[in-house]
């Protein structure tokens, strides 16, 4: 995920070598697999009637070496599935001796539609350096072109910018050395017989697989780093599938080792040669450190890790509680904004309040595991919940409101259920009212927020409605040909991107893989 | 140099391992020198009034690290002199942690004007892969960017296509590891006191220096290979300056080792990992194998090399003589065209005839050195010369004509003098008449052909006129700021390029370095 840019140069970060060394010990080995391209395809060049461009003419890969390519000619390879890895291809010159370098443009795309858009038209606010394209000169052929950078793709477009009138380029054996730390041998068998759910599950697992590198990367195309909100959900999906809990442990230690000197855990970490905290803070993400630790402990019973990380969790809670007033209302400062979802079209203050309750309860559970006193925190749960139920409940509909204009939105209702401020029977009522009044969901375009909505439906006991919503949202992506689930998807606007241009969107995003967890847990 | 593309797939080439192994034995070691950029400069973006763009604002290189560069910002470095080599620069990120790759566009330019033109506007007929530009992504900073390809440049433009709003790129220590096989310690002192000639000489020597790699490359920017016409002149310049005769020997053996199976020596050779003949044949270039061998022998008295290479020289002559008819006229077949100059605006048939006479005489000289019979060849000199003097002399002006329309052009007069078909006194008359009638030279735009015109003036005894012409032509390039002499230059059209676009032109071309020889020999 991302957010409106925060620039906080003045913030200093700790580098707790003990924590970082624990993270290092849990660093996974990457598993490599060599995969050959399957097809040569043609992709339409323009958006038509608001629809994604998809492969049209499809030929066997043998068509590749049967052709040669001169100035401005191109070919698109289809690897048949999404891969994260290192591309190589053999290139030779056909015709007279090679009297000029070969100048190639290479594009990598997770979905066919990326190739229908022109990189030079990009005008979004994220760096255009994320567009997966390279320009390469080869001075001598034959040669094997082995790209040193890692890409995330199913399709590769090779365009000969120029050879010379005397010879053309010929391509053979396009290959990806795919990498992931996920071990498919560990996958359990899925019990459900529902074909649609099976498909959704399978695409979820592939999404998780691709994002499992040396951390849970948010997206292997972009941003290729560890976000806490994403980790929270990725870990749940991992427990339900690969169950490689060491990777979660590693990520927890990375966050704890790179907290700001005021104790706040940053929203994300760059995990290059040396892990480094981003100077970005999101309230809900900091809180989800507690959730991730709680989920991890519940799943693994790894008490040693809990002992090591409990203080960091406590710090997040204590820092947050500073901003709770006497009425039990959370009032966040500007330097700790809440994310909730990419959309800025709804008020998020009640969600922040509810997430604090949600994580506070998880924290109390952890304190109990460590035989520590919980009383003062319990009081906070009470006054925070009381505020919601007394001051934020619409007397007519029973829905929870948010902000000074008492706005009613889907996200708030979902978090009300997840925070457990209502008895289950009231939660069911709330979600039924939500469905009546606020469905179909509008203005939310991330699988991340959809996850919490669907989970709230399940938790409220509305299993059929939850499954229907899951099929409506993730199922639509499958119907549109998704090999992995997309960072952002608006069923009403297929080209929606939080970044002003969908060429930069990540089409394999770990926060989108939670149906694997939801189906495993609730179906 | 280049030529309208010839494609001769059907021609087979010998790979004489004995010859090629001799070439290998004379392979020079490259001398490396590390050079740091001197200045940060600004260059105007557009042609103005037909003038080249030149550096305007000039700052010390310390200005580089004092700035940082974000999306679409660029900086131009000036190394103060022309270099051939490997560029590197240290790059760091300034600001927040690096949250996206750095995407850089790097351009290398021999002259400032190249940077005023846009690569995307290139529409010439040579491969655009020759434009010296690269696009590079750097995933982690700080890093030292070391470009693996060799470039030919004085200026380097670094453009940040994108960093991110959170950080900018900072550049430090731009360096070139310059390479050449020319050893400056071997340079003799120039005797002349003429400042202008001194400058011309010095730029000539630098041109030769840059082109002296593992062969005499025609241009280290483009084509980076060994052309025979260029070798003929480069060798003469070498004898007058560096006197690294082994490099000439190497090039002669390369050509002899890669003749076509019919014996013709190709116009050029690719000298990558494995030397390879181009399937291009130019009559005059094949003939200049004889000239280059003759000049080499005269300068070195290396009789062993002469013995080994004489048969290849003889083959060129014998093949050419097949096309001489009973009237003593040379009639070339289509598959062995004559080059003479890039211009196609004048008839070249008499030049071809005269070059055959010129090389035939040199060949006879070589036969004499080897104590071989020369009689049949002498007869050919006679009938070929007779044809020129009887059938090709304009009775009014005394000038030599060319082609069916009896055209009179400068190139023919120059080659008439060089071929020695006239006594010296008549040669002087001819060149005076040429000056009167055909000067200033028009429609010839290569220093290659200008060389022969100036040499003809010297040979005809018109020393002042020769020096004036040299100053008018090469001196003009110096006046325009040339660090090395250009492949093509038309004093009447500064943007002339044989390729339809001057961005692709080579601004350091070995065939342009002959003033070093002319000044040494005649001044």
Q: Cβ–Cβ contacts within 10 Å for residue A132, how many?
A: 23
Q: Which of A99, A147, A167, A269 should be substituted to probe chain B, the one whose Cβ sees the most B Cβ atoms within 10 Å?
A: A99
Residue A489's SS3 state is coil
Check residue B492 and give its pLDDT.
87
**Helix extents (H) in A402-462:** 410-419, 424-438, 447-459
B127:A277 CB<8 A:
no
The candidate with the shortest Cα–Cα distance to B138, out of B159, B157, B163, is B163
Check residue A87 and give its pLDDT.
98
Check residue B2 and give its pLDDT.
38
Q: What is the ipTM of this complex?
A: 0.96
The answer to whether A210 touches A492, Cβ cutoff 8 Å, is: no
- Over residues B120-134, mean pLDDT: 93
| pLDDT band for position B434 (cuts 50, 70, 90) | very high
Predicted confidence (pLDDT) per residue in B162-190, tens digit: 999 999 999 999 999 999 999 999 999 98
Which of B95, B101, B129 lies at the smallest CB-CB distance from A161?
Answer: B129
Check residue B47 and give its pLDDT.
61
The terminus-to-terminus CA distance of chain A in angstroms comes to 28
Check residue B83 and give its pLDDT.
98
Which of A8, A98, A162 lies at the smallest CB-CB distance from B128?
Answer: A162
Check residue A445 and give its pLDDT.
86
Chain A residues lying within 8 Å of B140, measured CB to CB: 272-273
Residue A235 has pLDDT above 60, yes or no: yes
Residue B343 has pLDDT above 50, yes or no: yes
* Total-model pTM: 0.96
In the numeric block, the tokens 């993270």 are attached to A23
Min Cα distance A134 → chain B (Å) is 7
Q: What is the DSSP letter of A354?
A: H
CB burial of residue B148 (10 Å; 0-12, 13-18, 19+)? exposed
Alpha-carbon distances of A84 from A220, A304, A468, B494, rounded to whole Å: 7, 34, 31, 51
**Percent of chain A with pLDDT strictly greater than 70:** 98
Closest alpha carbon within chain A to B504: A100
The candidate with the shortest Cα–Cα distance to B201, out of B212, B211, B188, is B188
**A274 in reach of chain B (CB within 8 A):** no
B279:A164 CB<8 A:
no
| pLDDT band for position A450 (cuts 50, 70, 90) | very high
| DSSP-assigned states of every residue in B97-139 | ---S-EEEEEEEESSHHHHHS-GGG---SS-GGGS-EEEEEES
Residue A1 has pLDDT above 50, yes or no: no
**A161 in reach of chain B (CB within 8 A):** yes
Helices (H) and strands (E) in chain B, counts: 15, 14
Paired residues of B93 in beta bridges: B169
Closest alpha carbon within chain A to B13: A97
Min Cα distance B66 → chain A (Å) is 19
Chain A residues lying within 8 Å of B165, measured CB to CB: 5, 7, 125
**Helix extents (H) in B222-302:** 228-240, 245-257, 283-300
Element (H, E) at B472: helix B463-479
Residue B214 has pLDDT above 80, yes or no: yes
Cα A168–chain centre separation: 41
**Percent of chain A with pLDDT strictly greater than 90:** 90
Check residue A48 and give its pLDDT.
59
Chain B residues lying within 8 Å of A273, measured CB to CB: 140
Predicted confidence (pLDDT) per residue in A150-172, tens digit: 999 999 999 999 999 999 999 99
Q: Which of A87, A100, A139, A219 should be substituted to probe chain B, the one whose Cβ sees the most B Cβ atoms within 10 Å?
A: A100
**Helix extents (H) in B439-462:** 447-459
Min Cα distance B93 → chain A (Å) is 13
Check residue B9 and give its pLDDT.
84
A129:B103 CB<8 A:
yes
Residue B48 has pLDDT above 90, yes or no: no
Compute the distance between CA of residue A6 and CA of residue B380 in angstroms, rounded to an integer. Answer: 86
Residue B46 has pLDDT above 70, yes or no: no
- Over residues B494-518, mean pLDDT: 92
Compute the distance between CA of residue B243 and CA of residue B237 in angstroms, rounded to an integer. Answer: 8
A87 phi and psi angles, rounded to 5 deg: -90, 140
Residue A114 has pLDDT above 80, yes or no: yes
Q: What is the DSSP letter of B394?
A: -
Compute the distance between CA of residue B268 and CA of residue B226 in angstroms, rounded to an integer. Answer: 5
Check residue A45 and give its pLDDT.
64
Mean pLDDT score of chain A: 95
Q: Residues A100, A106, A107, CA angle at the centre, nearest 5°?
A: 165
Predicted confidence (pLDDT) per residue in A179-224, tens digit: 999 999 999 998 889 999 999 999 999 999 999 999 999 999 999 9
Chain B residues lying within 8 Å of A147, measured CB to CB: none
Residue B50 has pLDDT above 80, yes or no: no
Compute the distance between CA of residue B351 and CA of residue B384 in angstroms, rounded to an integer. Answer: 12
Check residue B302 and give its pLDDT.
98
Check residue A4 and give its pLDDT.
66
Residue A263's region, left for phi above 0, alpha for psi from -120 to 50, else beta, is left
Chain A residues lying within 8 Å of B134, measured CB to CB: 135, 137
Min Cα distance A241 → chain B (Å) is 30
- Over residues B100-118, mean pLDDT: 96
Chain B residues lying within 8 Å of A11, measured CB to CB: none
Predicted confidence (pLDDT) per residue in A267-292, tens digit: 999 998 899 999 999 999 999 999 99
Compute the distance between CA of residue A303 and CA of residue B226 in angstroms, rounded to an integer. Answer: 73
Residue A49 has pLDDT above 70, yes or no: no
Which of B71, B102, B139 lies at the smallest CB-CB distance from A149?
Answer: B139
Compute the distance between CA of residue A490 and CA of residue A471 in angstroms, rounded to an integer. Answer: 14
| pLDDT band for position B4 (cuts 50, 70, 90) | low
């Amino acid at each position: 995920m991302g957010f409106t840019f925060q620039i906080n140069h003045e913030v200093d970060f700790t580098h707790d070598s003990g924590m970082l060394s624990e993270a290092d010990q849990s660093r996974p080995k990457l598993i490599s697999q060599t995969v050959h391209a399957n097809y040569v395809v043609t992709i339409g060049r323009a958006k038509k009637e608001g629809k994604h461009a998809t492969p049209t003419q499809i030929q066997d890969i043998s068509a590749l070496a049967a052709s040669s390519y001169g100035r401005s000619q191109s070919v698109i390879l289809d690897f048949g599935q999404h891969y994260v890895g290192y591309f190589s291809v053999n290139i030779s010159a056909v015709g007279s001796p090679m009297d000029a370098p070969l100048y190639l443009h290479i594009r990598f795309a997770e979905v066919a539609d990326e190739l229908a858009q022109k990189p030079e038209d990009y005008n979004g606010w994220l760096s255009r350096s994320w567009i997966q394209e390279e320009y390469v000169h080869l001075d001598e052929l034959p040669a094997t072109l082995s790209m040193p950078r890692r890409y995330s793709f199913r399709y590769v477009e090779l365009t000969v910018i120029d050879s010379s009138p005397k010879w053309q380029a010929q391509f053979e054996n396009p290959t990806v050395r795919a990498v992931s730390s996920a071990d498919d041998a560990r996958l359990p068998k899925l019990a459900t017989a529902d074909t649609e759910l099976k498909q959704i599950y399978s695409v979820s697992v592939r999404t998780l697989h691709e994002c499992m590198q040396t951390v849970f990367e948010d997206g292997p195309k972009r941003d290729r780093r560890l976000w806490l909100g994403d980790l929270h959900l990725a870990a749940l999906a991992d427990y339900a599938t690969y169950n490689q809990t060491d990777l979660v442990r590693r990520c927890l230690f990375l966050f704890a080792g790179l907290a700001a000197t005021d104790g706040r855990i940053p929203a994300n970490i760059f995990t290059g040669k040396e892990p480094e905290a981003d100077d970005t803070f999101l309230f809900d993400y900091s809180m989800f450190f507690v959730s991730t630790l709680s989920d991890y402990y519940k799943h693994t019973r790894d008490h040693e890790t809990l002992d090591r990380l409990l203080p960091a969790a406590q710090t997040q809670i204590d820092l947050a509680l500073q901003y709770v007033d006497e009425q039990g209302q959370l009032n966040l400062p500007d330097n700790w904004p809440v994310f909730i979802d990419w959309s800025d079209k709804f008020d998020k203050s009640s969600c922040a309040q509810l997430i604090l309750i949600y994580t506070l309860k998880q924290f109390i559970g952890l304190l109990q595991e460590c035989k520590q006193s919980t009383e003062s925190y319990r009081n906070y749960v009470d006054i925070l919940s009381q505020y919601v139920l007394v001051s934020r409940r619409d007397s007519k509909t029973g829905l929870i409101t948010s902000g000074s204009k008492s706005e009613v939105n889907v996200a708030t209702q979902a978090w009300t259920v997840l925070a457990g401020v209502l008895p289950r029977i009231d939660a069911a009522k709330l979600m039924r009212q939500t469905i009546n009044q606020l469905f179909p969901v509008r203005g939310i375009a991330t699988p991340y927020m959809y996850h919490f909505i669907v989970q709230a439906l399940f938790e409220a006991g509305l299993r059929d409605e939850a499954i229907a919503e899951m099929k409506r949202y993730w199922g639509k992506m499958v119907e549109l040909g998704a090999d992995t689930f997309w960072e952002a998807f608006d069923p009403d606007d297929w080209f929606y991107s939080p970044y002003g241009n969908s060429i930069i969107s990540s089409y394999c995003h770990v926060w989108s893989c939670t149906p694997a967890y939801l189906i495993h847990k609730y179906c």
